[in-house]
Amino acid sequence: MTSSSTRADRLVPTALIALTLVPALGGAVRLADLAGGEATPESARFFAAPLPVVLHIVSAVLYCLVGAFQFAPGFRRRNPGRHRALGRVLVPAGLVMGLSGLWMTLFYPYPEGDGDLLAAFRLVFGAATVLAIVLGLTAIRRRDVVRHRAWMIRGYAIAQGAGTQALVTSAWVVLVGPAAGLTRTLLLGAGWVINVAVAEWLVRRRRSGSARTAGVTGRRSGAPQEVGRRF
Ligand code: HEM
């Protein structure tokens, strides 16, 4: 039990950080280009209005990298104070990430190959991340740990859609061929859908586990036991 939870403590953040590496690298390249490069037709929108993309990259990379540790079970249990302190940094970072993504979707001109469907995906999933983080925060302020966990998993999973999109698109390029236009849009959408499905599976798996534990120990299942439950 202890060794499997120690293994999970290492594996969960390592896997989540690995998933962030490709978009984080893309972000570093974009920031370096904005700092010292010249605008091209491909990057003109970023040079014309750099603030949202800079805020987006910095907050998204911080949220995904540091957020990875919040999901290591032993870290939360052993360091509840640190989990709370990181949460106070991660909530604003996640909100800035989502809101700046929405801002760019609404106000940047579409780059070549992007269209209304991709914009719709970005609006839906960007708004869903913001909503999930707000619901996760309001849940913990009511000391409802079960709902806090569920909403924070959902919000983080949508953010990590950026990493899954890189994996899905790379696999497509290697196995099938170039990904442009509608194909690229559907692959980006698939990255978000996969992560939402995994998040729902994790949320439901834990809920059914809790219900079984409550049954075995003879406790009534329901809000009073769930509220304030240990992480
Ligand atoms: C809710 C999730 C997210 C939404 C809705 C979103 C949305 C967007 C939008 C609309 C753009 C501008 C696209 C363009 O005009 O080409 C963008 C750019 C970018 N995003 Fe996100 N994003 C999200 C999460 C993330 C995450 C988690 C990361 C990294 C860990 C990330 C990294 C980037 C980078 C590096 C760019 C600049 C792309 C470039 O240089 O061409 N995003 N994002």
pLDDT single digits (tens) 142-164? 999 999 999 999 999 999 999 99
Residue 231 has pLDDT above 70, yes or no: no
Residue minimizing CA distance to atom 43 of ligand 1: 101
Pocket of ligand 1 (CB under 6 A): 20, 23-24, 26-27, 30, 45, 53, 56-57, 60-61, 64, 97-98, 101, 104-105, 108, 111, 122, 125-126, 129, 158-159, 162
DSSP H helix total and E strand total for the chain: 10, 0
Tell me, what's the pLDDT at 8? Answer: 82
The beta strands (E) that lie in 93-208 are given as: none
Tell me, what's the pLDDT at 227? Answer: 40
Q: Which two tokens stand for residue 108?
A: 């940047």
d(CA 231, CA 228): 9
Tell me, what's the pLDDT at 210? Answer: 65
Q: Would you say 154 and 196 are in contact if contact means Cβ atoms under 8 Å apart?
A: yes
Residue with more model confidence, 182 or 75? 182
Specify whether the backbone of 222 is left (phi greater than 0), alpha (psi in -120 to 50) or beta.
left
Tell me, what's the pLDDT at 86? Answer: 98
pLDDT single digits (tens) 66-123? 999 999 988 888 999 999 999 999 999 999 999 999 999 999 999 998 999 999 999 9
Residue 209 has pLDDT above 70, yes or no: no
As a residue count, the chain comes to 231
Tell me, what's the pLDDT at 73? Answer: 83
d(CA 87, CA 151): 13
Tokens 């972000």 belong to which residue? Answer: 27
pLDDT single digits (tens) 30-50? 999 999 989 999 999 999 999
d(CA 157, CA 138): 19
